[in-house]
Structure 1
Amino acid sequence: MNEIASEGITSLKEMLSNFDREEAKKNYEESEKERMEVIRLFPLDQWPQLELEKYALGLEKNTYCHLLEFKTTNIGSIKGGSSAKHIIYLKHKDSSWYIPLELKKQVNNEKEAWEKIRENFVKTFLFAREMKWDEIDDIPYGPSLRLKSIYIYFPDKILPIFSKEHLIHFLNALGIEADRNLERATLNSILLQNLRQIPELKEWNTKELAFLLYKWAHPEQSIKVFKISPGEDAIYWQECLSNNYICVGWDKTGDLKSFESQKEFKHKFFEEYGDEYKQKSRMISKKSKELWTLMELEPGDKIVANKGKSEVLALGEVIEPGYEWIDDRGSFCHVVHVNWDTKYAKKITPQEKWAFVTVAEIDAKLYKEIIGSEEMKSITDMPKELIIQQIEVALENKKQIILYGPPGTGKTYHARRFAIWWLLKKLKYDNPNEVLINNETLIDYENRLKTVKISNKVWWVVANPKQWSWDMLFKDKKVDFHLGRIQKNYPLVKQGDLVIGYQSNPDKKIVALAKISKEFNTSPNDEDKIELEPLVRVRNGIEYEELLRDNVLKNCEPMRLRNQGTLFALNHDEADYLLSLLAERDNEIDKYIQQPINESSIGHFTMITFHASYSYEDFIEGYRPVPTSSENLVLRIEDGIFKRVCQQALADSNKPYLILIDEINRANVAKVLGETITLLEKDKRGLKITLPQSKEPFQIPDNVYIIATMNTADRSIKHIDAAIRRRFAFVELMPDTNILVGAKIGDFELDEFLEELNKRIAKKEGREKQIGHSFFLEKEKPVTDPEIFAQRFRHEILPLLQEYCYADYSALADYLGNELVDKDEHAIDYEILNNPERLIKALNKALISDEG
């Protein structure tokens, strides 16, 4: 039996201490009513004779499949996706039967198909009684439907959790390694067995346990938020408000649930609406996606009803049964059931995109404007971009991922935002979602969490006993220094910097260590001064004559200037060398100088960039030249950034440490990682190896995570070392023209331009070299200024295309048209290129308009 990791069980027990079991019992009672009704209508012993007409969707209202999808939602949901999960059903559009392709090859008609399907259900129930979960998982077709059926008839044997992803999520949350090769029934049984090990839960029924899990660690904390307009100029709004739904048109498609897949639906949409949208495939595809969104909405998602570009009519929550086709309406028959709240009705910042779309996703920033800042702080289920969710799942499953895609698709942008949001969530900060909305908040938290170079410069401060002595500092506990002779040093001093205290005549030696307690401030209202606090007196300090004879220190700033002044700077090597000499003479000062000079203070977030010369020595460890007193250089081994992060994470094992590697493919990754590549694997975390140079033991702790970015225009993912590919998860970011929908410069539509340009690039160069949407964004908004667009085109997009074409002007003309590119003269028309209006007109003609 699997043991539950202490962190998972501790977290669950903390939840239990404040959990209202009465709520779980109430949910159980409601679900039992539904379960018993199914058993009443479909007794277990009648399954061997059950008729197809009593089972399948598309016939009577109360068929078995209709009950399980629409009338038993308190038990657990299997909603969403196509009707194919029901294995066999009657299609509305042509009254033909859907049968899985493999099964279709084995039978002659729907009756024979049903006999095999029914036999599989009977086997499933037999195996469930005997708890043979592997055998159940080996039965083909309809895994979620069959698992829910097992719960209907055997509620004590499994949990009412039917999604494979949810089962894996809960197992991982408990600290149990979930094998993705296992299927639903086996995963479900493993989860239940482990929950039964917790003494406090032994008497709970399976429905209560599932209810607890979803309250404790819901796998879908994020909601989807869409705006949907109820007809042109909100003509159907009063009907929608009165009947608790939102309705849209495109009625020629018929009921969306009648389609086997989105692909089949899209084909139908093209058939019905091709002429209306002038056979423009891009436009037809966009509109079909808008309509299909209704099928993907689930209870709990939010709908904003809008009128025009700037009026919110109400905010609503999707309720059961979600999407429905209501033929009796006559028109606008596509309906989503919604519980409306009109208190959010208001005018908002005009959303230009809304003028061109019926259905559009709403991001967190706009959602905040609609519901208000204060309410936003109190909610946890705010809308979260799909990419954030994808990165989270991949990172927590694999521990290291690579975001890859063409240039300008926001890889680094999304990696940074995710990293800070995820770390704040893991570190239990209040309202981590704010960093996804507010860029200033993101930068603020990034600065708090990131690994930075400690300025901890070491300064040399001279005291003249005739005016002031170091003894006085230890007596008074602080001293102010105003601008002295070498004024350039004062603004460079930072709080926390170390100070070596030198006393001039008659002592002429180093006598103390101090630290900067207040740094220099240049604002008009503050005095120009620094403040020192004492650390420790130095016994047997180095004297002036010794310093003059030392080949390293004789050339440092204070010695060159013969200590004529107050504040002097020491460079890294001088400071490191001098402090080591002092520590040899007085080991009492060692504890004050343990922090390596000018090395990194390891935070929870570390960001580095790989480049062609980045090496194992930079990342893990390596030898560096260091000067000695005899003016020679010696090699000293120094830890690389990854080694230091791992050491810090090992010492702080309950908190996450995340490294963001930008441009990972620009270095030789296999060489940079060296022998540590093996330790990246999830099951090798904590395994120790001996590093070949330092001979020190090294391990990668379980709480270290890596996110990397990779530009596929530089190097294809297929060229990455196979060992690297096995150890990283990969999340692709492609150009997203939806961000640009509705953005125009005159009549020039940015989304149409980018989509057509990328279509041509993908055809000639491959999809990995397309142009990203961020080239057309300014402060996260689409560019609408002709001058800015022209600058971006001239300085960023055109050079990329020229690189792709390798001076082949015929190829360049295929991309940008013959008006801008003279392929015979092998030249660009710079008069057009440098004139924003003419440039946009030429690009519009070449890529968008019917003339092109």
Structure 2
Amino acid sequence: MEELSGNATWMLELQAVESLGGKALESQIADYVHKHRPDIKETTVRLELTNLAVNANGRTSMPAGKEPRRTDGGHKFDRLFKTGTGEQAVYELYDPAKHGVWEIYRNADASSSHGTLIRKLDDREDIWTMLAKYPTFKSGKVGGSQSGQGSAAFIWRAVGYLIEKGTIEPFSTKKKNAENLVLSFWKTVPNAPDINRNLQEVGNARSAWREWLGDSNSVLHTENRPLTFNSALPMPTEPLNQILYGPPGTGKTYATIDKALAILEPDFSGNRAAKKAKFDEYAAAGQIQFVTFHQSFSYEDFVEGIRAETNETTRQLEYNVEDGVFKRLCNAARRRVVQSADKNIDLKGRRIWKISLGEAGIEEGVYEDSIQQGLALIGFGGNTDFSGVQSREDISKKFRHAVPNSESDYTVAALNTFIRQVKIGDILIATQGNLKFRAIGEVASDYVHVPRENDTYSQGRKVNWLCVYEQALPYQELMENRFSQRTIYELRAGSINPDKLAKLLAPAEAEQDSVPRVLIIDEINRGNISRIFGELITLIESSKRSGQPEALEVTLPYSKEPFSVPDNVYLLGTMNTADRSLAGLDVALRRRFVFEEMPPRPEMLEHRKIDGIDLTELLTVLNQRIEVLLGRDHLLGHAYFIDVDSLPKLIAKFQHQIIPLLQEYFFEDWEKIALVLNDPRKAKEHQFLSKPEFDMTTLFGANSNAGNGAPRWAINATAFELPDSYIGIYAREPNP
């Protein structure tokens, strides 16, 4: 190892490992650092060790705009290799020949904090699996600072690995990243196309690579099967913004389950029940959100708005900014785990507490100190030391002595909870206000007094912070309802979701950053799009998402916070064309969404016959007549008949759904409804609609000026009971 100068934390850590024979426990490294720099906190030591370890999950937290870290040395990354977890973790000097080659690269589809992925390159089959899963390129320069760079890096590295049968040439630090990607590996491919001139356009490089690979299967192979591009796993191809549109009953909402799974788990297969169960799992985990637009739905519901609520402590009315469904989803989608658990946490028998570490937005230093120092701090009782108290009465006496003018029992109750009721091993949820949380920790000690100079947050417990988030998460990621404003209280069953908590505490949670999130907007055309989306209508464009070269950010009007839309948030809308046609949709929305038509599919009924009635023919002819008289936006979907398997069900369907829908379509123009039902060509007893006869003279008298009056129509109830009434709808000739 080269001579290290200076006394930065990471340099001291490397010196510690080297001085201890090339391998050391985390505690030994921490003692060494503390000896030379007593001011360095233990949490800082752990964080820097994560950066140094080539195989540490936390290493994926890469500053935006920087090129991918590489296993070629020259900086503070990739110097150590970690084995074991927790206090038993051992760090040794990293040797690629011994520990394998690890790669971290930028990728728009990666499930990590900054759109990056970490992976050990074990063998060709392993490489191919990853290559098949992440083959997506983005437009733009390969060498630019954008998300496409990483997937390009993996393609070239993977091809080089496969061609050289295990040898990966390291990056050259003397060449530009993009140039090195190609020259290091592509030059090793026999008879490969010359793509250097196309290097500036990723799309051209990808096309050349795919074209060549398709014709050169003999070069890339394993012992058991050829490695061809077509043998790759299915690639997610769903657009970021899409709308399923069509008339009623065509299965638009039904299809959102398949669409959502195509985004979240493209390889999932199974019957409808299995798909619905998987969909429900993602919904329960918060990866799928569902909302229905309507005339009263607003920007405040969708993005953010001001809500009035009563402060539980002061009983005063307060006005707070509350996030809407879309903002909450975006914040959850860009979740970045700064610190995560390195072992599974068994929650059985542990009590779970909500705690406020200083007032959010005002006393942020208390929260920051708590995380950095491995503490939980509350500020009641001034700087009084409550060590040794045995009862609530003891706490009350000390508190009254410290704050003689206080008459509130709330603070005593909070101190009693924090000092006596919270036990070692319990879980603390550190909140930010009552709508978000930002850290989860495990209580590691009894009460400790922590004298502080700048404030009175002197009451402490040592805490092992298991999960710390760069940006607070919405309470829905953990809770069934919002947090209370009390400083500390127990979260009981019914308020906290134990499954969500267990997932957040899983060691793999750090790898789940930036997983796709889907917002399903049902009846998207029923809302006032301009009012609901506001300035965000621009930010949802693919090219304007965060992480893209043309990314945009706005300042939200209520919270004054900067906001952008992550590129792992998918918007999936449904649109009923009978409510509003595509032509009448907001032009700004149409430009930013991909539209997929969901037409009626009579063939789904498979010519099912009920008492001689062919349902496929019945639906086909009904829609042909409706399209001629009214247009294709007002057809009948196959879903109306999908569950019809008997005459009574068909009768109920016509009486309660089909006839009322036709009334709505034609604004009660009964003559056209009769034409759709083919009544004029049917025998009278088979006609659903009839014109009852009446005498105008009897009704109005001989001298009235009523004329002939408006045509009267009546529904013939007996016709619904006869199969020939339905057969007559699609019959070409009148019934005998």
What TM-score results when the alignment is normalised by the length of structure 2?
0.42
By percentage of residues, which structure has more helix?
A: 1
Higher relative contact order, structure no. (Cα contacts within 8 Å, ≥ 6 residues apart):
2
| Structure 1 length-normalised TM | 0.37
